[in-house]
Amino acid sequence: MKRDAHIHSPYCPHGTKDALTAYVEKALASGFTDISFTEHAPLPSSFEDTTPDKDSGMDLATLSAYLEAVNKVKDQYKKDIKIRTGLEVDYIEGYEDETRIFFDEFGPMLDDSILSVHFLKLADKYICIDFSKEAFTDAAQIAGSTSALYDLYYDAVELSISADLGLYKPTRIGHPTLIHKFQLDHGKKIDDSNRIKKLFRHIAAAGYEIDLNSAGFSKPGCQESYPPQNYLPYAESLGIPLVYGSDAHSVAGLHKHYEKLYNKSTIL
């Protein structure tokens, strides 16, 4: 079985307008049998998106149209490929109650979901740590150092695992080393191996999965998967399912770098 469980859509505010059917047709042509559309969910209504274009997630008003569109292609291609209707939902420290209410309402409509950390609480504001290398540098300065920012990121991911987000909380952790996105840009070699292994132990204890995300290979400042390939044997030793995701925001990016990971890990 070839599965890609992290795919965006024309409903992504910062993605492309490539049609859902174009993604499905490429998946079929590439021999995939199971795909998940996991669009960025609306952020909590009381949270202010701190990215310049404020386009980190769908508007709530768009969500129903997205779910309807994915369900339509799911039915259209049901004899050819398994399509899962999903969301990538942000864990934002301090907004757990709103996130739980969101899952209570929309969770029953989903086949799949991912829980990710993009925003970190730093001092009196929230910063999107993967928006740009400049934003990353600013965040590191506020945190006190790049190493301190790494620690805050892993702290937040650990909180996402333990947070009570209700019955429909995702059990797959999105790109768990996203903090590496600009690792070749900031000029500091951070040894976060102990934090990664500790995070994996938390994931294993919770019975969760890892989004084995290939998008980092395409990032000039990263050039590796999230998590890096050298940590995959440790994840496997803990019994953590590794679920491949291309994190594609375009048809061109769909399944990209799959072959770099396939057969080097337990991809489900």
Domains in the chain: boundaries:
3-261
pTM: 0.96
**What is the tens place of the pLDDT at every residue in 168-186?**
999 999 999 999 999 999 8
Q: Cα–Cα distance between 261 and 229 in angstroms, integer?
A: 8
What pLDDT band is residue 267 in, cutting at 50, 70 and 90? low
Question: According to the model, what pLDDT value does residue 262 have?
Answer: 83
CATH class of 3-261: alpha beta
List 179's β-bridge partners, or say none. none
Helices and strands: H and E segment counts in the chain = 8, 9
Phi, psi angle pair for 64, to nearest 5°? -60, -40
- CA–CA gap between residue 132 and residue 17 (Å, rounded): 22
Mean pLDDT for 233-244 is: 98
Residue 262 near residue 213 (C-beta atoms within 8 A): no
**Strand positions, DSSP E, the chain:** 3-7, 34-40, 82-90, 112-116, 119-122, 125-128, 172-173, 209-213, 242-245
